[in-house]
Amino acid sequence: MRFTTFLVLSAFILGNSCGLLTEPSDITCGWEIVREQQDDITYYSIHFSNANNGWIVGFDGTIKHTADGGLTWESQQSGVASNLWDIYFYDNQTGWICGANNTILRTQDGGHSWSNISTIDSIDKTYTGLEFISPDIGWISSNHGEILRTSDGGLTWELKKFFEMGGGSRLSALDANTIYALHGRLYRSYDAGETWDSLPISTPDYFRPSQIFFTDRNNGWVNTMSTSGGLMVTSQPVVSTNDGGLTWSHAESLNDDFFECTYFIDENIGWVAGPQNIYKTINGGDHWILESTRDDIYYGAKDMMFIDENHGWLLNYQGDVCRYLCRCD
């Protein structure tokens, strides 16, 4: 097993994780590989319900579960052979997965059994992303340009937004009424999807928005992707808003081919990850710290999540899982 060198961070960020009497020099944080590639499956999504229990999903109905923070993984039976695109757990028992061939799966026993609960009849439909804010209320997007909402745990779905251009939307759901969606522009609803605002995202020339993450109604971040055609671009801006998307700004551009993953735990502390690098900010994106590089670990990042400022995980397409952990020496 390969490990990165752990990074010493300030007590301002981590003091509460080890007790009030812990000195800053006694706290170390960093990334380590806890699962290396074990098969030929392509993986797409990772989700943890607490510091121990987590899941990854990918092609051919593959589900893997860990009960020890990512150190060991066991297969769970999805009951489908479709490619699985996204997974979300509300707690240790209740979770959902979406994917190709009209697949929406739900478990109520921690993944020991999964049921395909999709009631929508388009067999060529792929559900590309989902988020739940309670055991009952959730959102899902499809490659047909749909955003749908459920209020009964996924048994029935109501169309809340349709884009004629098609394609899946990136979602960031905050509560029962508030959701942000990225579909070329930023769309937001404060009334459970009954009405939507459409807002442009100000990006530098030759870049387009590619992913969003909001922590509340005001604070959000958008990864961008180059539109320069065949030109090699290795520096990417991350733009941010503190007024719900009305205005946007960005600080320095970050070195990488693109950034697939973004995760913030509050309006200040967050991470972005790409094929080569992981960056962290502690001031809402005004400045980014290079936290780990491809020289430390091979990333190729596909998905990332944190349960708090001391525990996080990153998944790449090959099924490698990297864990971010803070320890008291």
Provide the residue-wise pLDDT of the chain in tens; the chain has 329 residues. 333 333 333 334 444 446 544 455 577 899 999 999 889 999 999 999 999 999 999 999 999 999 999 999 999 999 999 999 999 999 999 999 999 999 999 999 999 999 999 876 666 899 999 999 999 999 999 999 999 999 999 999 999 999 998 889 999 999 999 999 999 999 999 999 999 999 999 988 888 889 999 999 999 999 988 887 656 667 888 999 999 999 999 888 898 888 889 999 999 999 999 888 899 999 999 999 999 887 766 568 899 999 999 999 999 999 999 999 998 86
In angstroms, rounded to a whole number, what is the distance separating the alpha carbons of residues 301 and 77? Answer: 25
pLDDT at position 324, please? 96
Q: Is residue 113 packed enough to be buried (19+ CB in 10 Å), middle (13-18) or exposed (0-12)?
A: middle
pLDDT at position 121, please? 65
In angstroms, rounded to a whole number, what is the distance separating the alpha carbons of residues 275 and 278? Answer: 9
- What domain range is 72 assigned to? 36-168
Quick check: 300 and 318 in contact, CB under 8 A?
Answer: yes
In a domain, 239, yes or no: no
pLDDT at position 18, please? 60
In a domain, 208, yes or no: no
> The tokens 């005001």 sit on which residue?
218
> The tokens 């009849």 sit on which residue?
121
- Determine the residue type at 159: L
Quick check: 128 and 98 in contact, CB under 8 A?
Answer: yes
Q: In a 3-state reduction of DSSP, which class is residue 62?
A: strand
pLDDT at position 50, please? 97
> The tokens 């998307």 sit on which residue?
245
Contacts 24+ apart (CB under 8 A), 140-149: 140/98, 140/104, 140/171, 141/168, 141/169, 141/170, 141/171, 141/181, 142/168, 143/167, 143/168, 145/169, 145/183, 147/171, 147/179, 147/181, 147/193, 149/192, 149/193
> The tokens 């937004």 sit on which residue?
161
In a domain, 69, yes or no: yes
Question: For the chain, what is the domain count?
Answer: 1
pLDDT at position 256, please? 85
In a domain, 222, yes or no: no
In a domain, 285, yes or no: no
CATH number of the structural domain spanning residue 53: 2.130.10.10
pLDDT at position 11, please? 36
Reference 117, options 155, 158, 148; nearest CA is: 155
In a domain, 152, yes or no: yes
In a domain, 317, yes or no: no
Reference 212, options 222, 224, 202, 227; nearest CA is: 222
In angstroms, rounded to a whole number, what is the distance separating the alpha carbons of residues 75 and 65? Answer: 6
Quick check: 78 and 97 in contact, CB under 8 A?
Answer: yes
pLDDT at position 104, please? 96
In a domain, 68, yes or no: yes
